[in-house]
Amino acid sequence: MKPLLVLTDKQIFPDFELDVDITYELRLAVKIVAFDGAGQLALVGTKYRLLPGGGVEEGETFEEAVWREAKEEMGCDVKIEREIGVTEEYRAKIGRHQETHFFLATVLGDKGVPTTTQEDEQGIQIDWVTLDRAIVLLEEQVKNISTQSYHSCFNVRTHLVALKELKKQTTPR
């Protein structure tokens, strides 16, 4: 599958000086565009709102990671409909090549509370918004994000591209 976006530090931080000897370690991740019965999708976070999801653990399939992350970050079960696309990020500052797979899903049953035990995810908020509203929110975040939020600078851009791709895929021509 051709990536929806390939993103590097230089594209976000124009003054970034790339170390030519950098070695990148691959990290696989999944993100979930999960719609509830009202046609709204989940955005999660504390400071910035992003799609729920996270790293694929060793021995885990993409689908298993989606189910686990949905439970941890949204407190609900989901049915995976299909893959929307993939993005690649080369985060030179930390030597990471991140490949993120975006999945379209439907919330099954009631929405619960997040079950995450990760300290950095404690207190996350969940907002349920329309696809169009999510795109507007992420566009605003791209414009206003602090470059001090290194990972979020990448995440907000890749998530926005995936949401726009989903809209393109689902809009009648």
Alpha-carbon separation of residue 160 from 58, 59, 63, 134, 135 (angstroms): 27, 29, 21, 8, 6
In this prediction, residues 32-41 reach a mean pLDDT of 97
Mean pLDDT of the chain: 92
The whole domain housing 18 covers: 5-170
Q: What is the pLDDT of residues 49-68, one digit of tens each?
A: 999 999 999 999 999 999 99
In this prediction, residues 23-28 reach a mean pLDDT of 96
Using CB atoms within 10 A of its CB, is residue 121 exposed (0-12), middle (13-18) or buried (19+)? Answer: middle
Q: What is the pLDDT of residues 68-115, one digit of tens each?
A: 999 999 999 999 999 999 999 999 989 999 999 999 999 998 887 777
Structurally, the chain folds into a number of domains equal to 1
Q: Which residue has the higher pLDDT, 122 or 131?
A: 131
- Confidence category of residue 47, pLDDT binned at 50, 70, 90: confident
Alpha-carbon separation of residue 68 from 31, 74, 169 (angstroms): 11, 10, 26
CATH number of 46's domain? 3.90.79.10
- Confidence category of residue 14, pLDDT binned at 50, 70, 90: confident
CA-CA-CA-CA torsion for 146, 149, 152, 154, nearest 10 degrees?
A: 80
In this prediction, residue 168 carries a pLDDT of 96
pTM metric for this prediction = 0.92
* Lowest mean per-residue pLDDT among 21-25, 76-80, 169-173: 169-173
